[in-house]
Amino acid sequence: MAEAESPAVVASGLKGVASDWADDKQAFHVPWGKAMMWIFLLSDTFIFSCFLISYMNVRITTTVPWPIPSEVFALSFGGEPIPLILIAIMTFVLITSSGTMALAVNYGYRRDKRKTVLLTLATAVLGATFVGMQAFEWTKLIVDEGIRPWGNPMGAAQFGSSFFMITGFHGMHVTAGVIYLIVVATRVGTGYYDRHRGGNYEMVEIAGLYWHFVDLVWVFIFAFFYLW
Amino acid sequence: MTQSAATHAEGHQQHPLGIYIGVWILLFVLSGFSYAVDYYHLEGALRWSLILIFMFLKAGFIVAIFMHMAWERLALIFAITLPPLCLLVFIGLMAVEGDYTYLTRLQVFGPAAEIVPPAHH
């Protein structure tokens, strides 16, 4: 199998899967940090899935009507309440941040330090905006509408516990992501990666994976909690 | 070694900007569609199927393009995307269990028993 060691004959497709897994060598041809981030995200997928599945379970089991999210999350700007408008704006903010992150990764590969730093920081600012809007939403629900983890005036008591658990855990991920992005942007900007990693900006892509995952989770929360 | 094999071997992911901008716009459009499903009060099977279609399209584009999964080697793609399929079994089990609990509650407490106001009201 000496031949298989040489990168010149790396197989692709299903044969590639077999040789990548079977040989006594590195399985994933990516930087180790990236493989580890993917495995962390896989585990996080299971955590968020457990939350969403438990939400599905309590929603199926309750004999009391489930509060209508479209009305609970409506917001009025002086006139008629617009259904779900705050959540729609939050969704757009998060997608915008995913776009700026994708561009930051791209400019990182182009070794354009200035644009990488600016786009990463823009992503962090949009993330912070999202968390701010979420804080506003929580305040409105707790103070104005009397929603608590153990009950609410609109219907099924489990609405509050599901809502605070799922969006709270997601908001915590966004907050952690903002801090992570600020650290990465600072390190790109101050030349830390140029000094310590031979000018390799792969950390930007790894941070990007985390950030896109946070956006990905929101796609599922938006569909199952707010729209369903 | 071809250029593309070389870049894959190092996990190097540099792609034209146009792809990202295109997917970005697509995500906005799909989110707009998702919101429209709620805004126009679509109901029943149409509502649920549209929500799921837009959700999976958005999730797919984020993972494939933004997270570069489309350009990774199959070994990594399988290692990350296949394990979550177990969740389908979990969802199925919990849905069956949920129905059972719901029917039991109806039988024991009667419909909407929990919203009957307490006696002192």
Closest CA of chain B from A115, distance in Å:
13
Picking from A225, A121, A131, A119, the residue whose alpha carbon sits closest to that of residue A173 is A131
Tokens of A189: 């900007």
Picking from A61, A47, A104, the residue whose alpha carbon sits closest to that of residue A221 is A47
* Residue in chain B lying closest to A93 (CA): B28
Contact check, Cβ <8 Å, B39/A83: yes
Reported as a single tens digit per residue, the pLDDT across B56-76 is: 999 999 999 999 999 999 999
* Residue in chain A lying closest to B115 (CA): A64
Of the pLDDT bands very low, low, confident and very high (cuts 50, 70, 90), residue B11 is: low
Place of tokens 């998702």: B34
Helix axes A85-109 and A113-139, enclosed angle (nearest 10): 160
* Residue A5: predicted pLDDT: 52
* Residue A102: predicted pLDDT: 94
Picking from A193, A181, A173, the residue whose alpha carbon sits closest to that of residue A123 is A181
* Residue B9: predicted pLDDT: 42
Helix axes B86-109 and A32-61, enclosed angle (nearest 10): 20
Q: So what's the ipTM on this one?
A: 0.84
Contact check, Cβ <8 Å, B24/A8: no
pTM of the model: 0.86
What single DSSP character describes residue A78? S
pLDDT tens series, chain A, 228 aa: 444 455 556 788 888 888 877 777 778 888 888 999 999 999 999 999 999 999 999 999 998 889 988 888 888 787 788 888 889 999 999 999 999 999 999 999 988 899 999 999 999 999 999 999 999 999 999 998 889 998 888 889 999 999 999 999 999 999 999 999 999 999 999 988 888 877 788 899 999 999 999 999 999 999 999 998
Chain A within 8 Å of B71 (Cβ-Cβ)?
no
Chain A within 8 Å of B59 (Cβ-Cβ)?
yes
